[in-house]
Structures are given as C-alpha cells and as structure tokens.
Structure 1
Amino acid sequence: MAPSLEAPDDEVRDVLANPLKKKPDLVAPEPEHCPGPESEQAGTADSCAGCPNQQICASAPKGPDPDLPLITARLADVKHKILVLSGKGGVGKSTLTVQLAHAFATNPDTTVGVMDTDICGPSIPKMLGVETETIHTSNAGWEPVWAMDNLAVMSIQFLLPNRDDAIIWRGPKKNGLIKQFLKDVQWGELDFLLVDTPPGTSDEHLSVNTFLKESKIEGAVVVTTPQEVALLDVRKEIDFCRKAGIRVLGIVENMSLFVCPGCKHESKIFLDHTGGGRGLAEELGIPFLGSVPLDPRIGIACDYGESFFDSFPDSSACKALKGVVKGLVEQIGLDPEVLLPEGDGSS
C-alpha cells in the first residue's frame, strides 16, 4: 500500500495557526516520533528526551505574532474583508476582483480597497489603470494608490523599479510584504477590502488568514471555470477554507460561455461535463453566486485600465457581473438595493 500523504489533524491545525514560524536549524535529522520543531511541544515532549535537537527546539520562538494587534488596530475601520480565491491559475480571479471593486465603487458613498497579494504576478494595477504610480510614505505609513476617488489599491508593482522586474522571493519575504500591506498601509475607512490572492493554498493564503483572523474575514469568493480540470483544484481551495475556518461566500463560474458581441450568439468554450460551478456548489452546499460569460471586451477594459461597467453597461457580461455582486452582497447580509445605485444588483 502506498504511504498516505495526508498530514495529521494536529499538524494541519499547527500550520494554519502558525504558518510564519521559521523552522529552527537542527543539528540532526528529526527522529521518528518527533512532534515537529515548530510544534508547541517541541523540546518538551517525552519523545524529545535524548534528542540532540532538544535545546534548539525548546528555545525556538513560539506563540502568536506580536504584530497581530497592530494589524487589527490598523484595519479597525474596514467593515468587510473579502478574499478572492481560485485553486487554479487562468480562471480570471484577478479580473473578477477588479470587476467586484468597480461594481462596489459605482456607489459614490462606498469606499473600496484592493490588496494584491499575488506577489509574483501583480496584475491589479494594470487592470485599474495605475500601473505607473508609486507609493507615497508619511509618518503614518504607506499611502495606497487611488485609482478613483473611492477606490484604493496596494500592490508590489508600485515598489518595482522596472515594470518587467521578476520577483524571485521565498515564502518568508512574501509573508513580510503582506504583513506590511496590512500593518503599514493607511487604508483608513473602507466599506470593502478585496484581497486578490495567487492560485493554490500556499504561503500567501496562510499569511493572509493568520493576519486577518483577529480582525475578522467576512469570507471568500471562489472563482472557477466550468471544466472539471478547474473544479478539481477548486475543491482543494474549498477544503483549505474549511480547515482554516474561512467562510465560503460563494462560487463564481467565470467564462461560462462565449457571447458574440456582434450577433449575440452563445457558444460553450469549456464544456461542463460534471455540472460546472453550479453543480459543484450544489454538491458541497455552497452558495452559487452566478455565471459570467466570456466577453473579450472585459479583457480590453482591463488592458486599458477602464471600468467595464462604464464602458459596456448593457452587455450580457455586465448584467451577469451585477447578478454576482447582488448575490455576494446578500451573503454578507447587506441590502443590494441600498448598496448598489439604482437597484443595479438585479440581473
């Protein structure tokens, strides 16, 4: 029988609770019954007796991050914090994040922030038309870049000397920057903070969950495309949310079909052999927020840093996106007729 790769429950809980602890430098391999050098029992468990690493593990830093209270205080005026996740790359997660931000920002009384935690592939500034901006600092911290009067964004893109520079960082450095985005940025009073994450369930996701746990995450929106290859990874993302205690606000099926801008004919590009996003939502008992068709004009709007809602308000994709926003607002417990101008939350 092949060995199981599933981590024990206590190990999973330890990683989720303490993802940022640096593994100590050991002088010998971990013994068979080692509780783990990052465990709270490291160096003190019965199995640690006689181990050459006992003193090293016992003296390693443990406990909560001392910066967590500072992050909680900084985000005290942010009402709703929403993660945008996807198990797989290329499903349009960052694009959907931008559309959600623009949709909320259509109400002049609503202030929105977007935090781009996709450290190695920051695309949010380009989509919001602020790619060439830089960050200003003051005694109070970093100032986010304002794409609109009520739409702010923070991304590593603003820190790069050249727009084409690659970010070749290991996990701890990524975690440190995410902490700065939360602890040092003057987000101020926000109605919504949308956190765009990279695909998968890795360092960035663990960091965001840990840093925001005390200040309360509203939940996560999970983005997929209809085909089973994407749904396989989305299942893992949802499992991560459940283990991390993050509420899944709903699933959005992106690129559900192609609508020709000229003749309005609909064609399925990705076939949903297993029911697509809607079928997965019903199977797992998760709200289905809606399907968004593949419209090339969304890509054009993002390339030019424009709002798709302003440029193509009568398109079927725009109406579908408004339906997604309405479903998301209802899951949060808000009234879409109040939040969205002129009742535009209806599909």
Structure 2
Amino acid sequence: MRVLIVGGTGLISTAIVQQLLERGDRVTLYNRGVTARRFEGDVEVIAGDRWKYAEFEREMRQRTFDAVIDMVAFAPENADSLLRAFSGRAGHLVVCSTVCVYGGPLTRSPATDDEPHRPVTKYGQNKSRIESTLLAANGQSGLKTTILRPSFTTGEGHTALGALYFDDSMADRARRGLPLVVHDDGATPWAIAHVSDVARGFVNALGNDKAYGQAYHLTSDEHTTWGGVFAALQEAAGGKSPVVSIPTDWLYEVAPRRMVGVKFIYQYGSIFDNGKAARDLGFRTTVPLVETFRRQIAWSERAGTYRRADEEPLQDVLLDAFTRGQRPAPGQVHDVNPWGNEPES
C-alpha cells in the first residue's frame, strides 16, 4: 500500500511509520524536516509546510496514494486543504483527532463514540470542526474518510508523565521518594495508552471498508485513576513517594500555562469505550501502564532526556507555597506551556 503521512516524526506518527514499514508498505512523509526521525527503514520525504496551502496542494496534485494519514491537522482550514489536495487522488483519508472534542465532564463513563461534542478548548473546538468537514466529505470524488480519536497516549519519545505539568523530572522524583503533586484527590478516572497500541489502530484502519465514514476511540483498555497513575509511575521508577493533593483551581491560578492541561482536560474523567474500534479495527491495548512507564524511563535515560528533580523545582515550589497557604513568590514558577505558551481563555 502507498501511504502518505502528513507529519510522520511525532510520537504516534513514529510508531505508525515503523509498523507500516514492518508490514511492507511504501511510506512517504510530508513535513518541514524539523524533528529528527526515530524509526528505522527507508521512506520518501517531501519537504514542505502544510500551512502553505497552495504549495502543499500543488505538490499533492502530482501524486496519488492508496491512503493518507494526517497527524497534524489542527485548524479547520487544514481540513479544507486536505479535501482540495486529495479528492480524486487518494483512496482513503484518515485524520488524527482527539477525545478533547467532547470537553468535560463526560455525560457517561465509559463514553461511547457518539458522546456529544462540547469542547471547552480551542484545540478541541478546532478538531471537532475538522471532524465535521471530513466526515461530511466521505464518499465524494471517490474519497473515503475516517476519524480516529486517541486520548492520553505516551511511550518512548516522551518522558514519563512529563506532559502532565510539563515537568520532565516526574520519574526521578518517584525514584528518589520525593513528594509528587496530584491535582484534586487523585480519584478522577483516567487511562493512558502506549503509543504502539494506538498506532496499530491507525494501521488497521487503512483501506478497511468498515472504517469508511466512521469515527473511533483509540484509548487504553486499562482503566485506573490519577492515583493509580502515580502508583504505576512509582512502581516503574522503583521508589515510593508521598502523593500530595492540591486543588486544580489553585494550581491553575498560580501557574496557568503549566496547568492548562489540568484545568481543561485532566481534572475530568477520561474513560472511553473502545468497543467499536475492537469490532471494526481489531483494536485492543496490550502494554500495561507500569510497562509503559518502564520503557519511557529507559528510553529517556538512553536519549539524554531524563531530568533530575534538582533540575526542575516546580513541584517543590508548589508544595511549599500550598503548605504555607500562600502563592509562590513572583518569579519562582517558570510558567511555560510548550503547547503554545498561553493559558486557555
């Protein structure tokens, strides 16, 4: 199968590429060439910026593909460009969306694929509009479309639980027995999937006629709570840390960029029914959460991204201020958000 991936070097993309190559597909990537690749094997790379729509669409008009996976569609205009680029030139268009299209709290748990869309973040709102555009286009000009919705997905390529507070020292704190901050009481239901399992869902969707015009969850079958997540991290790291509960609202008040995910995503239960994907795509998750964290810790040590607790004072500053009933002093919190460096409004 001739497969184009728009993106192709991110966390989930890397696992998808590796699995496609292992089964013998011909893979082409379209990206800016900024992120180093972490997969083994030969792929064709087209250098370009998909946000430069005229250039992107002109390049794609010269080619045909059996399937296209777009991993980096973040704006409604991206969806319009995809349709102009691939209508009549690709058999199947698969787009990575997100469970953030639902917002929170969910109306039921586990939530099914027809959960109402009530997104509260710009990210979720844009993804919801992208979904609507592409699903409405299914069957037009010979193009079939599918939407896939991962939830919290991690693995080699990211540090263990680093995305929670943008704090890459989480594993080291657990290893050394240092206190760990959990938002609220840690009882919120949660699930984290290993990237290889989620990638397999994408691969199994390609050219699958059951998937045409459909949307699916690709989330973990292992359901726990945030308290369970922290317990799994400690087991993987080989330490035992006290877990200290701090209210979401206080965390967001003192560090709105660091805590944007906690405020708008992680404070809400995130358990999803994968039954539809299991039926149509043969989807199931196989890597337990403890093993996921073990692999991440080992990868980060090899890759040089493992960060010691004394290099990241965030949680110590938060714990000290909260215990004293005060806000951190000005400048104590390095309040940064790699997702865009702005709190949601």
TM over 0.5: no
Question: Which of these two proteins has the greater Rg computed from alpha carbons?
Answer: 1
Q: TM-score range by the shorter chain?
A: 0.3 to 0.5
TM-score normalised to structure 1 length: 0.37
